[in-house]
Structure 1
Amino acid sequence: MTMDKPVPDTPCQPFQRFHAELVDTAFSPHRHDTYTFALTTRGVQDFDYRGETRRSRPGAVVVLHPDELHDGRPGAEGGFGYAGLTVLPETLARHRPGQTLPFLAGGVSRDRHLLVAIRTALSLDEQASALERENAVIELAQALDAVSDAPATISPVTQAVVDAACALIRENLEDGISLAALEAVTGQDRWQLCRDFRTLRGTSPARYLTQRRLDVVRDGLTRRQPLADLADAAGFADQAHMSRQFKAAYGISPGRYARTIVQDRTARLPHPVLH
């Protein structure tokens, strides 16, 4: 498969859509920092998640929490296909003020309301308004809450601290940033900051930095830029370092990633994220 040409980023994109038709491709164990919803459309999708092998058939949806280790492979001859939706944790948090992130431990659901919410987001056409897109995310957040553990409450101060840390990390992708610097800016000690960061972003500050660097790489892949140049622009030590981090995050090499995942050009996030 070939990756669609990139389109300009647009404001208020609350999710990103993509699809894949996989015959013999398997994803090695990896983790990423988004919620991923993969609606199985054909075949059988097997994956290992939280210590068990899970299976999704047509009509079921795979629900992956940020930073949870998982893989993926065909569960029967002929491979499988899925329509995917990725949502940033901070997007869900914005629509669920004062609550921690929802979590579905089983990794697969056939809940009717959740499936309706996911299909609604997947079916929005390119003429959909910002209101329609935002409403789709709200309905998705509400459906996910209904099948998840009851979320705990968080304070506005905690939210502000984590937001400030994220902004500082994004401003220092090339050179990186230390926990000491994050402490100085946020006024929060590193232990509590890391704990709050995981509560609201589902990952650590270090992993958040790596993922934002990989955003630069993925964007460059759509433009057919050389891997060595992308590694340098994103702040990695070298191309080999970048490739190792890429596979750890996505389960396949940068080149195969670009050939396997097809992105919906009408719904891109401010920084592109895919399964």
Structure 2
Amino acid sequence: MERDGGWARYWRDGARPLEAMHAHFFEHVYAPHSHDTYSFGITDVGAQSFRCRGAQHTSGAGMVMALNPDEVHDGRAAAELGYQYRIVHIGPSVVSGILRDAADTSAADGSTAATAEAAGPAGALPLFVRPVLTDPVLTDALARLHRALMGPASALAREELLTATVLRLAERGATRAPRTRSLAGEAGRRAARRAYALLNEAFLEPLSADDLAAAAGCSRFALYRAFRAEFGMAPSDHQRLLRLRRARGLLAGGLAPAEAAAAAGFADQAHFNRWFKRAYGITPGVYRRAAGS
């Protein structure tokens, strides 16, 4: 979408209040407005100025904006080159669901053997008192989530990044740290192995974090922690690795990279090419042509 000499691209989840935008504005001025969501933005280029909570604020490159639901604000360029920014809108129901899940003490064996890692009432909505935060950790977390939402990514990867980002924002920017719990000892290992088995069996299917948690018998967050501890990578990373292995076998059999990408469950060939090279150091085309060399 073109507007005021700039551009804007938008993504929206069709099932829950979760949206993302990437834009570069020069002359566009936002009228005073509010959202019924949490809104977290990163300024990439230039600077933007906005009025919120009775004061004027400026967000420059690398800074994070954190707006609570229903907070009235406006916005305009604060630099001659305008401003380019990324923003994610996350509904309170999504945030509270993630916080409840992270505090869930359900264990894979039906007990409540878990370890509390941070204080705070389960599911309590966080409050962000500073509209602008300077925190490279938050900037990186938001950028990774935004890329996953706006670009090709599996449902599993998006859910993992959404959970990690919400918790990181609450830990580092909110007035009260969230409570998180992890499965301990053998309960965690059993949960991880159950999810691992499901991934190995159904890695071509669009598995969700809820699917894996149900198979493991614990919360999504507890499974994520247990899986990383047991296998050294996130569930979505293992799913992608299995898809890369499938594609590698198809390439060796003579299938074209585009066909191998589609058959192995990748959203598009560019996404497949990028991850294949990151995993194996060569492009799919080079690997396919290497037969008999």
Q: State TM-score, norm by structure 2.
A: 0.47
Structure with more strand by fraction: 2
Larger Rg: 2
**Larger RCO: 1 or 2 (CA < 8 Å, sep 6+):** 1
